[in-house]
Structure 1
Amino acid sequence: MRFSTRKLLPGLTVALMASAIAVSTTVGARADADDAKRIFKEMSDYLALQDHLAFDFDTVLEVVSSEGQKLAFASSGAMEISRPDKIRATRTGGFSDVELLFDGTTLTLFGKSVNVYGQIEIPGSIDHLIDELRDTYQRPIPGADLLLSNVYDELMPSVTDVKDLGSGVIGGVECNHFAFRTEDVDWQIWIAVGDAPYPCRYVITSKQIDTAPQYTVQVSDWKTGGAAADFVFKNDTDAEKLALDKLPDLGELPAQYSPEGAK
């Protein structure tokens, strides 16, 4: 049987409107801001206690084109962290294949698909690295908020509204689902239920653009403990070394939808 999108859309619109009405009338009654903050604090404390952790992730980055069309670009990757000062991450998408390594002193960005890399000295912790990449080099790590050593103290002060949305299931894992609002962004988080309250999904929604594009990162294959990997870059492919500001764009967008071409 063939289905017509044109026939399905009116029914879908009605269903979405009904869902919106249901949420608006029931969430307020079940929201418990104190409980949501408590569980989020438990997640923050749990993450801070993990000396070594590793996980896989999938991301979806939404942009709005100059024609006002919302577009989404997907990537996948893996990350390994050894606190307080080592990180290794890979990300593969349709437009780049990137590896990031930090050994506590040297940060390396390696563009595998173009076989070039750049290095800078940023001695310090992972927290310091995240701040420097965002503020000094304008190369923020998407979703890096959750890698900080004290997620709660970094994110909660700017929150103006909290909603407890009950339970959800992400990748077969039961999660507590919360929504938080700040002046600039809305964000949602799904936190695994149980003794390992890790973040299963994190969604950041812009409030500065009318069509509200989002960035979503979903976590899988969560692991803690074990032996740490080697976080030192080895140039096994004879990649060309470039100054960091000369590296090609290693982000998640094709060139035509870079910030210069997006709305």
Structure 2
Amino acid sequence: MRVDKSVIILALAGMALAVGTPALAQDSKPETSKSAPDEASDIDADAIEALNKMGTALRDLKQFSIASTTTREIVLETGEKIQFDGFVHWKVKQPDSLYVDVKSDRKNREYFYDGKDLTIYSPRLKFYTSIDSVNANLRDLILKASNDYGIELPLTDLFFWGTEYVSDDLIKSAMVVGPGTINDDKVEHYAFRQEGVDWQVWINQATNLPVKLVITTLDDPARPQYTARLNWDTSATFEHSVFKFVAPEGAHKINFVPDPQAIANAEGEGS
């Protein structure tokens, strides 16, 4: 699967490698024992426990919406950083229905999935395309969309925390930054480091749901960041019609053609 750090896919790239980690750690007991204290000092157990609680809270949600404001940094060849703001609105009904509206100054895309067909619609261009008979739950849909078609939806890691797809072994550093307040709610701030990326999460103390995420890419000297603020509605309910695409008047259907480069990246960067 392609790992796009700018859209907060934090852990999926290493999920296959994580299975072999314990065996590798046993290859040289003397060296492991010497380095263990230093490695352990970089991992705060309270920060890892907070992630586990967050994963449980996310898995317990059956129907919800998220309204997220985002800021993405793009680095020019001159090294200058340019910021683009955006908006992402998710409507989700487990186990197999979603609607996503992604807006920015550059584009607007809507994604409809009714448990069977995935449709992508461009309101500005009035074009839409469909991938028929996907027939998968949401996690399998997200993986299939990325691996088979090069389609990356924002914030999809929220569907994988607390599942077998995410391993704590990928985290090289974890720390508790401290308490804070976001939108008058009490939150706890945590910081983590993985291969090639630093990321921070602010978790609501009452709900254990993430309310802010900041991702810093380390393999670019300019260290561009992606920021998302998440506003949750866990009492939202939706009719099935919300997730089923109905072509507006004047809209035109086009054939879906996967991006070969996106698929090549997915095969080369993930498992």
TM more than 0.5:
yes
1:234 matched to 2:234: no
Identity, % of aligned positions: 25
CA apart distance, 1:156: 2.7
1:105 matched to 2:129: no
| Residues in 2 aligned to 1:213 and 1:151: alpha-carbon distance in whole angstroms | 28
1:89 matched to 2:100: yes
Letter in 2 for 1:223: D
Of 130-139 and 92-101, deviating more is 130-139
| Residues in 1 aligned to 2:211 and 2:233: alpha-carbon distance in whole angstroms | 12
| Residues in 2 aligned to 1:236 and 1:155: alpha-carbon distance in whole angstroms | 43
Spell out the pairing of 1:48-127 with structure 2 (5 A cutoff): 48-121=59-132, 122-127=134-139
CA apart distance, 1:203: 1.6
1:184 matched to 2:193: no
Higher RCO structure (Cα 8 Å, ≥6 apart)? 2
Tell me which of 157, 167, 180 is aligned to 1:145.
157
Conservation of the 8 A alpha-carbon contact between 2:191 and 2:200: yes
TM-score with structure 1 length normalisation? 0.76
Spell out the pairing of 1:2-81 with structure 2 (5 A cutoff): 33-81=44-92
Count of residue pairs the alignment pairs up: 216
TM-score with structure 2 length normalisation? 0.74
| Residues in 2 aligned to 1:114 and 1:246: alpha-carbon distance in whole angstroms | 19
| Residues in 1 aligned to 2:229 and 2:164: alpha-carbon distance in whole angstroms | 19
Letter in 1 for 2:204: A
Of 120-129 and 237-246, deviating more is 237-246
Letter in 2 for 1:138: G
76 and 167 in structure 1: CA distance in 2 versus 1, 3 angstrom threshold: same
CA apart distance, 1:184: 2.1
| Residues in 2 aligned to 1:180 and 1:133: alpha-carbon distance in whole angstroms | 27
| Residues in 1 aligned to 2:154 and 2:181: alpha-carbon distance in whole angstroms | 23
Tell me which of 223, 229, 239 is aligned to 2:233.
223
226 and 73 in structure 1: CA distance in 2 versus 1, 3 angstrom threshold: closer
Corresponding residue number in structure 2 for 1:261: none
Conservation of the 8 A alpha-carbon contact between 1:61 and 1:216: yes
- Where does the alignment leave 5 or more consecutive residues of structure 1 unmatched? 1-29, 248-263
Letter in 2 for 1:185: V
| Residues in 2 aligned to 1:124 and 1:243: alpha-carbon distance in whole angstroms | 21
RMSD: 2.1
CA apart distance, 1:172: 2.5
| Residues in 1 aligned to 2:88 and 2:217: alpha-carbon distance in whole angstroms | 23
CA apart distance, 1:198: 1.0
3-state SS of 1:136 partner: helix
173 and 31 in structure 1: CA distance in 2 versus 1, 3 angstrom threshold: farther
